[in-house]
Amino acid sequence: MTWTLPNILTAGRLLAAPGVAVMFLYFTRPYADWFALSLFVTAAITDWFDGYLAREWKQETRMGAMLDPIADKAMVVIALMVIVGYSSMSPWLVLPATVILFREVFVSGLREFLGDVSGTLKVTKLAKWKTTTQMVAIAVLFAQGVFEHYFGMIVYGMDEAMVMAIIEGRQPDMQGLGWKLQGMVWSGNVGLTLLWIAAALTLVTGLDYFRKALPLLEEEK
């Protein structure tokens, strides 16, 4: 493998994928959420830079082309696993996550089966938008976890009537309870909306890949 900067960035993104889950093993929340969010966003940014630099510096390699989609899929799959695992298992979250995970496994298996002719299933612009939407949705959902736990830390042991009085403005909000609640609600809603959009794009691109692969799957006569 030629260790060009784009390839180093891609390999780093691949290693960062399991690092997102490891954060929740060694740190308590919300610190784990902060570290996972920072690591995920940094890795997601390199997804744009490694491809851009490889094209601009004419350093595109077969190894980089192979690792790039693997790193993307590993980041999305592991991050979704962590988010779903630490959520309340709401169907509004589980269903789009299931669609995304199923498609990634299906397309990867399809490419592996096709072998040498898998190059005919080129990444489309819509598939790139799919990946971008997935990563933004996951980042926002990690941010929702940060707001949720700071809110929970403040209200822990507090009387429910007092919490409502602060939220409704009848008591002074000395610890920023209101904006933490708003941050939790908005990031949760925006994250879920983006995840459903990503799931729709995931389904459309998956069906498109399958349609293109059908002629290659026909039995020989």
Tell me, what's the pLDDT at 198?
93
Q: What is the reported pLDDT for 116? A: 63
Provide the residue-wise pLDDT of the chain in tens; the chain has 221 residues. Answer: 567 787 888 888 888 889 989 988 888 888 888 998 999 999 888 878 777 777 777 777 777 777 788 888 898 999 999 988 887 778 889 999 999 999 888 888 887 777 666 555 667 788 888 888 999 999 999 999 888 888 888 888 777 888 788 787 888 877 788 888 889 899 989 999 999 999 999 999 888 888 887 777 675 54
Neighbours of 94 (CB within 10 A): 14
- pLDDT at residue number 220: 52
pLDDT at 97: 92
Q: Are 103 and 203 in contact (CB under 8 A)?
A: yes
- Does the residue 165 lie in any domain? yes
From CA 86, how far away is CA 66, in angstroms rounded? 31
Residue 167 covered by a domain: yes
Q: What would the two tokens of residue 148 be?
A: 């949720």
Number of domains making up the chain: 1
What CATH number does the domain containing 135 carry?
Answer: 1.20.120
Instruction: Give a yes or no: residue 149 inside a domain.
Output: yes
What is the extent of the structural domain holding 99? Answer: 5-216
What pLDDT does residue 121 have? 63
Q: Tell how many helices (H) and how many strands (E) occur in the chain.
A: 7, 0
Integer CA distances (angstroms), 181 to 31, 106, 144, 148, in order: 18, 38, 10, 7
Reported pTM: 0.84
The pLDDT value recorded for residue 5 is 82
- Residue carrying the six token digits 């784009």: 6
Position 90 in a domain: yes
Residue 166: inside a domain: yes
Helix, strand, coil tally for the chain in percent (to 5): 80, 0, 20
221 located within any domain: no
Backbone phi and psi for residue 140, each to the nearest 5 degrees, phi listed first: -65, -35
Closest by Cα among 128, 38, 145, 42 to 84: 145
